[in-house]
Amino acid sequence: MQITFYKYQGTGNDFVMIDNRSLSFPKQDTKLINTLCDRKFGVGADGLILLENDEDLDFKMVYYNADGNESTMCGNGGRCLVAFANFLGVIKEKTTFNAVDGLHNATIKGDIVSLQMIDVAEVKEKENYSFLDTGSPHHVQLVDNVNGFDVFTEGKKIRYGLYGEAGSNVNFVTKNAKGYTVRTYERGVEDETLSCGTGVTAVALAMHKSGNTNLTTIPIKVMGGDLEISFTAKDGSYKNVYLTGEAKQVFKGEIIC
Ligand SMILES: N[C@@H](CCC[C@H](N)C(=O)O)C(=O)O
């Protein structure tokens, strides 16, 4: 079998992207997806995303983590898929598409994609961390110097130790001059990634909820670049949450399997 794929990245969170409107991709083949995402034995990516037809909306997003398993929402992946849909001519500058956590509105202008994330009604605040679901589960913890922090060791400990079988993504955060610097240990990749869209969204909302910031448009620096999160806040819940940043096509190839 031969499958055409594209590689995209959004602030360094990278994805194998496949147009599966024909439904010909072998979706149940976890091993194949895992191998395609492997950086030595495959294309190499943090995840694989299928663009499929949707009955009511512009298209449907189906997301797999690098481990080969279908997972919850991926914010950067969603932004990259909007760029891919635009490249394929499926959408123009505006879209509404379906994903595992529901409907998403998005706009694209050049390389910049702005993606509406789900509303968040609850931010659980613990003594030294917060936990919330922004489409995917996220642990958010402030640390003194995130650039010198052992994200892999500490993230792995929390991901398995605190959240049981289901696990959580784990974000470490330090305030900077404009907003926050964030590094994320990602569930399903089981490593630090250069950026996590649902993660930085969780950080922005958690920092606002705890009173660490009054901003409702928050710039966030990640290892792979810069993102911005904007939202409206009312009585501790969050609506009109938008994740904005670059999403770029990197290359095209053929998978022979
Ligand atoms: N990279 C992502 C998050 C992807 C989902 C995550 N690995 C999980 O399984 O929860 C993003 O940009 O949001």
- 91 and 20 belong to one structural domain: yes
Same domain, 136 and 240: yes
Q: Output the CA 123–ligand 1 centroid distance in Å.
A: 18
Does 257 have pLDDT greater than 90?
A: no
Q: Is the dihedral of CA 26, 31, 34, 37 positive or negative?
A: negative
Q: Is 184 in the pocket of ligand 1 (CB under 6 A)?
A: no
For residue range 71-94, list pLDDT tens digits in order.
999 999 999 999 999 999 999 999
Answer yes or no: do 128 and 237 share one domain. Answer: yes
| pLDDT tens-digit series, residues 50-75 | 999 999 999 999 999 999 999 999 99
CA distance 224 to 51: 24
Pick from 77, 5, 73: nearest CA to 36: 5
Range of the domain at 196: 124-244
CA distance 241 to 26: 34
Tell me, yes or no, whether 75 and 176 share the same domain. Answer: no
Specify whether the CB–CB gap between 11 and 195 falls below 8 A. Answer: yes
Output the CA 77–ligand 1 centroid distance in Å: 8
Residue-wise pLDDT for 164-220, tens only, equals 889 999 999 999 999 999 999 999 999 999 999 999 999 999 999 999 999 999 999
- Could you give the number of structural domains in the chain? 2
| Residues written for the chain | 257
Pocket test for ligand 1, best of 63, 186, 195, 223 (most atoms within 8 A of CB): 186
Tell me, yes or no, whether 141 and 94 share the same domain: no
Is there a single domain that holds both residue 240 and residue 131? yes
Whether 74 is catalytic: yes
The Cα–Cα gap between 72 and 24 comes to 22
Among protein residues, the one with the nearest Cα to ligand 1's atom 10 is 136
Ligand 1: centre distance to CA 186 (Å)? 6
Q: Are residue 76 and residue 160 in the same domain, yes or no?
A: no
Whether 198 has a binding-site annotation, put simply, is yes
Q: What are phi and psi of 175, to 5 degrees?
A: -70, 140
Tell whether pTM > 0.95: yes
| Helix pair 75-88, 197-209: axis angle to 10 deg | 130
Residues whose CB falls within 8 Å of the CB of residue 26, separated by 6 or more in sequence, listed in order: 1, 32
Residue given tokens 């936990």 in the structure block: 131
